Amino acid sequence: MRSSPPRIFYGWYVVLAVALVLTTSSGLGFYNLSVLLDAFVRERGLPVALASGATACYFIGSSTGGVLAGWLIDRIDPRKVVIASAALSAPLRPNKGTLPSSSGARPRT
């Protein structure tokens, strides 16, 4: 009698899915910053300090959101938290590059 090959533990599929999500969201957001900062400074004429400040706000918001999401997942069904966060962020994603500057920064000459 031939024995069937051992099945892969289901948790490894979860690990791979989380790795994919983190690579595309956090990884690309982090490693593309040098390209994005240069583009913000050149195309929008923003001062380097202002563009870097926006990046700092992005990371502070991401870390705060991560802590809040973890706290909610501990108390509520994780599926509901993920669905709610996706529903809240999905309409904002396409508009990231078109947001006007509200800081009053003027292009450099």
The domain spans of the chain are 10-90
- Contact criterion met (CB below 8 Å) for 45 and 108: yes
Residue type present at position 66: G
Tens-digit pLDDT profile for residues 36-80: 788 878 887 888 888 888 778 888 988 898 899 999 999 998 899
pTM of the model: 0.55
What are the tokens at 79?
A: 């599926």
Q: Within the chain, how many helices (H) and strands (E) appear? A: 5, 0
